[in-house]
Structure 1
Amino acid sequence: MKKKILNALSYIAISSSLLAIGCIKEDTNYAIGENNPETSLYVVRNIFQGSDVTLNADLLTNAMYTKGVVVSDYTGKNLPANHIAVQNVWRNQQRGILIEVDDVAKYNFGDSIRINLNGAKLSTQTGSLTLKGIKQSDITIINTGNTVVSRPVAISVLQNKFGDYESTFIDITADLEVEPAPGTPIRGTKTLMDQDSLKIDLYTSDQASFADEVVAPSATFRGIAYSDGEKRQLRLQNYAGMAYPSGKIYPGWPETFETNNNKDGYANANRLLKTGTWYFQQSLLGVTAGRDRIVSGDTAVRFQQGLSTDALLQMNFDVPDGASKVTLWYGSYYTDNSCTFTLESSTDGGINWQQIGDPITDAHRTSESLNSKQAVFLMDIEGPVRFRINKKGIGANTNSNPNGRLGMDDISIFKGY
C-alpha cells in the first residue's frame, strides 16, 4: 500500500485527510497475491506421512489441481489393473505417482493431464504411493503425444533414494544376475545386478502382453520404478523397454579409472588400471569433485581442450570374446563448452581403427547438471577387440567451434551376443 508523506505543518491537508478517511476503500495488497491453484507431485508426495490421508484445500494450501504426463502404457498390462503412472517436474525435482482410474484405456503414454485432487486419498495399499478416489470427471487430457525420455539411474541411487524415482520413467543398464538360457521368456522376477553387485528386481507379470518374449542377458531396461511392499522393482511397460540388448558385461568391468599412478598430467603416457594398460594422449585422471565427471570412486578421465590434434584414451589390450555393446558416462568438465568425440574399435591389435556409431557432440556443463549422460554403442564384433575414445582435434575452443575439456568415467564392454 502506498504511504503518504504528511507535512506536520499542513493542518488543512491533515484535516481534509481525516474527514475523507471514512470514504476511502482500503488498497489491495498485491504483494500477497493469490494462491496458485496448482501444485506439484513433489508437494503431494510430501503430504503423505505413512498412513492414508484425504487431500483437501488446507493440506494443499488452497491448491486443487496437479498436472503431469502419463508414463505408463496400459497395453503392456504390467502395472496393477486400472492404474496409470504420472510424473511432473517442479524446481528441477521430478516426481511420480500412481493414479487409480475408472478406465485405464483413456490415458496413453505421453498424454498431458490435469487432475482435480480435492477429496482424493493418498495410499500405499498397493505398494507404491497412489491417488485413489479420482473419478473420470476429475481428469482432463490437455494434449497428447508428448515426448517422454527415461532418466538413467544407477541401482545404488535407487536403493538410497527410491522415493525420488518411484512411479517415474527410468532406465537401468545392468546384467541379469543369472545368465538366462537362450529363449528364456522375460515373465516373472529376474534380478538385475550392476558392476558393484547391487541388485533390483525386474518384474514382468504373467498377464503382461510381452510376458513370453525372450529376455537378454544384459540391456538398458526402461520402465516404471515400482514398490511392491518392501520390494523394489522395475516394471517395463512394453517389450521395447528392453533396449540395447547384449551379452553380459566382461568380468572386472566397468573400468572406473581408479589408480595411484596419476602424476603425468596431460603428458602422453601409459597407465596400468584394473582392466589392463591404457594409453592416455592429452588426457589425464582428474580428481576435482563437482568439476570432473566422477561417476564412481574418486577420479575420472579429463581430456584437454582447444587442440588441433586428437586426444585419446586407448586400450593397449583386447577383450577376447567379441563385443555387442559399449557404454560410458560423459559430460563437459566444469563449465566448459561441449566438444566432439567418437568411439573407435580395432580388431588387429591397434594397427587400424574404425569408428562405431555417430560422433557425440552434446556434452553438457555442470551448471546444467552434475549428473553425467550415458552413451550406449551397439555392435556385433566377433573375436578379440579393443576400443578407444577419440576426442577430435577441431581447433581452438570458441562458442562457434566448441572444443572444451571433456569428462568421462565408467566405461563398460559387453561380450558378443
Structure 2
Amino acid sequence: MKTTIKILFTFFIGLTLLASCSKNEYETGGAVSTVIYMSYVKALHNGDDVVLVKEKLMGATQIAGVVISDRASGNFNTNEIVVQNTARGKVSGIIFKFNDNNTQINYGDSVKIDIENCVLYRENGAMKIKGTNLNFAKVTKVASNKEVKPRTVSLTQLYSEFYNYENTLVEIANVAFPELVGGETYAGDVRMGDVSNVFVYLSTMANANFAQKSLPLLASFRGIPTYYNANSSYYNTAKLLLKMRNEGDAFNETGAAYANFPEDFELVPASEKASYLMPAINDMVTFKTGNWRIYQGIISDVVNVDKFNPSGKQAIRMKDQLSEDALLEMNFDLLSGASKVTFSYGVPSVGSITASTFNLEYSQDEGATWTKVGESVTNPARDAQEAVFNVDVSGKVRFRIRKLGLGANTSTVFNGLLNIDDFKVFQNVN
C-alpha cells in the first residue's frame, strides 16, 4: 500500500512540474501574461505561414522588445520596424510590417505590440509579422532611449551562423570591400570582406540619407542582418545582407589611398640627396607624389643596411644624435583630407641597435603650424615595422615625420638612426 501511495505521489508531482514547464515565462502569480517572448514565436515558423492565435502563444497576445531600426535614416521601409528581445538568454529579432507608415516609433523605444491573429511569415526570405489590422495603433511605447548593445561577431561567424543573428544588432570590426574600384557610394549592395567563400553584403536603400556618401576602403560596422531572396520566400537560398541603422553605424573609416601613394622614395637616385644637409637645394627632392623636404636626412640605398620594401632599393635615413629635430616633410597639400597614414620604419643595420623617437604631424595651413597625431613612437627594433595612424582631417592637409632631437646617446638617452619607407595617405570619406 505504501509503495502504491509513493508511486501515485511521484506521478502527481511529475504532472505538476510538467505543467509548470509549459507555462509562459512571463506568467506571474498564477496568471498568464499577455506577453510572449520572441524566440518562442520565431520557432513556430517551420516553412509555412503561421496565424498567431492565443492557443499557439500560450495565451499571450503581445510581443515586447526594443526597436533597433532607425526610421530617420531612410534605410528601412516606412511601414516596418525591427524589434529585438532577449529572453532565457536568447537574443531574437523580427521585422514587423504595418498597414500604415511610422511617424512616432524611434530607435531605442521599448514597445509592446498586439499580435493576436497576425501572421508570422517570410517575405523575400526575411522573417516578418503582418496582419490585416496591424497598424501603429497596435504599438504601445513603454520607454524611450533604451540602449541595445550589439553582439560582436566576425564576418565569417556572421556568414556561417546568419540565422541566429537575423534581425538583431551586431558589430563587425575592420571590414574591407575587395571589389571596390574607386568612387563608389553606399547605395546598393556591396560585398564585404576579402574571404573568397564568404558572401555578406552591406545593403543601403537608395533613399537613405547616407546613400550618396563615399564608401570607405576599410571600416567597422554595426547593423541588422537580414535575408533577401528576389525570387521566393526561402531564406536558405537568399542573399545575406547587413543593413546599417544610420550613418553612425560606420566608424573607424578609411578612404581610398591617394594616387601615387605609397611613396617609396625611388623616383630619384640617392645621389640627389646624399648629404644630411644640402642648403643648395634647400633639402628639397621631388618624388612621384610631390616635393618633399628631407632635413637632416638622406636618400639611402646601402644594401643590407637600410630598410626598404622587397621590390625597392631606397629609403629615407634620418640622422642620429642630433640636438635639433630631423624632418621628412611633404611640401604639398592633399585636397581630400585624410583618414589614415601608414609607413614603414626601422633601425638601419649599421653599428649597434639604438632606438629613436618620432612623431607624425599634420598641417592645414601650408606648413605654417603643425599638429601632432596620436602618441610619439619609440623605435627599438632593427626589423622594419609598420606605423598606423588613424586620423580624421577634412580639407587640404600635408604630413611630416619629426624625429626628435634628443641629443647624444647616453645610458639614458636613445637617439639612433631612423629609416622611413612606403609612406601612404588615405583620403577622408566624410
- Give the structure 1 partner of residue 143 of structure 2: 143
Alignment partners' CA distance in 2, 1:195 and 1:243 = 21
Structure 2 unaligned residues grouped into runs of 5+: 1-15, 21-29, 230-237, 258-306, 311-337, 348-354, 360-372, 376-387, 393-398, 402-423
Structure 1 unaligned residues grouped into runs of 5+: 1-28, 250-316, 327-344, 358-376, 385-414
- Give the structure 1 partner of residue 68 of structure 2: 71
Out of 386, 390, 396, the position equivalent to 1:379 is 390
Aligned-partner residue type, residue 118 of structure 2: A
Alignment partners' CA distance in 2, 1:247 and 1:89 = 36
Alignment partners' CA distance in 1, 2:256 and 2:172 = 14
Matched residue SS, 1:58: helix
With structure 1 as the length reference, what TM-score do the two structures score? Answer: 0.53
- Give the structure 1 partner of residue 263 of structure 2: none
Alignment partners' CA distance in 1, 2:50 and 2:389 = 47
- Give the structure 1 partner of residue 37 of structure 2: 40
Aligned-partner residue type, residue 252 of structure 2: Y
How many Å apart are 1:238 and its aligned residue?
Answer: 1.8
Aligned-partner residue type, residue 224 of structure 1: I
How many Å apart are 1:98 and its aligned residue?
Answer: 0.4
- Kept in 2: contact 1:150–1:222 (CA 8 A): yes
Matched residue SS, 2:192: strand
> Which digits, 9 at most, give the CA deviation of each residue in 1:26-67, with x for residues without a partner?
xxx999534343221111110111111110111111122221
- Kept in 2: contact 1:100–1:130 (CA 8 A): yes
- Kept in 1: contact 2:186–2:214 (CA 8 A): yes
Out of 102, 105, 108, the position equivalent to 1:107 is 105
With structure 2 as the length reference, what TM-score do the two structures score? Answer: 0.52
Alignment partners' CA distance in 1, 2:89 and 2:57 = 20
Alignment partners' CA distance in 2, 1:73 and 1:38 = 24
Aligned-partner residue type, residue 192 of structure 2: L
Matched residue SS, 1:99: strand
Asked if residue 122 in structure 1 is aligned to residue 120 in structure 2, the reply is: yes
How many Å apart are 1:189 and its aligned residue?
Answer: 1.5
- Give the structure 2 partner of residue 208 of structure 1: 208
Once the two structures are superposed, the pairs formed by residues 43-54 of structure 1 within 5 Å of their partners are: 43-54=40-51
Change (3 A) 1:180 1:378: farther
> Which digits, 9 at most, give the CA deviation of each residue in 1:293-346, with x for residues without a partner?
xxxxxxxxxxxxxxxxxxxxxxxx9999x99399xxxxxxxxxxxxxxxxxx99
Out of 233, 239, 252, the position equivalent to 2:241 is 233
- Give the structure 2 partner of residue 177 of structure 1: 178
- Kept in 2: contact 1:78–1:236 (CA 8 A): yes
Alignment partners' CA distance in 2, 1:66 and 1:58 = 15
Alignment partners' CA distance in 1, 2:206 and 2:425 = 30
Asked if residue 92 in structure 1 is aligned to residue 103 in structure 2, the reply is: no
- Give the structure 2 partner of residue 244 of structure 1: 252
Alignment partners' CA distance in 2, 1:237 and 1:122 = 23
- Kept in 2: contact 1:156–1:198 (CA 8 A): yes
- Give the structure 1 partner of residue 293 of structure 2: none
The root-mean-square deviation of aligned C-alpha atoms, in Å, is: 3.6
How many Å apart are 1:235 and its aligned residue?
Answer: 1.2
- Kept in 1: contact 2:102–2:136 (CA 8 A): no
Aligned-partner residue type, residue 130 of structure 2: K
- Structure 1, 149-158 or 120-129: larger mean CA deviation: 149-158
How many Å apart are 1:179 and its aligned residue?
Answer: 3.2
- Kept in 1: contact 2:200–2:240 (CA 8 A): yes
Aligned-partner residue type, residue 61 of structure 1: M
Matched residue SS, 2:56: coil
- Give the structure 1 partner of residue 54 of structure 2: 57
Larger radius of gyration: 2
Aligned-partner residue type, residue 70 of structure 2: D
Aligned-partner residue type, residue 89 of structure 2: N
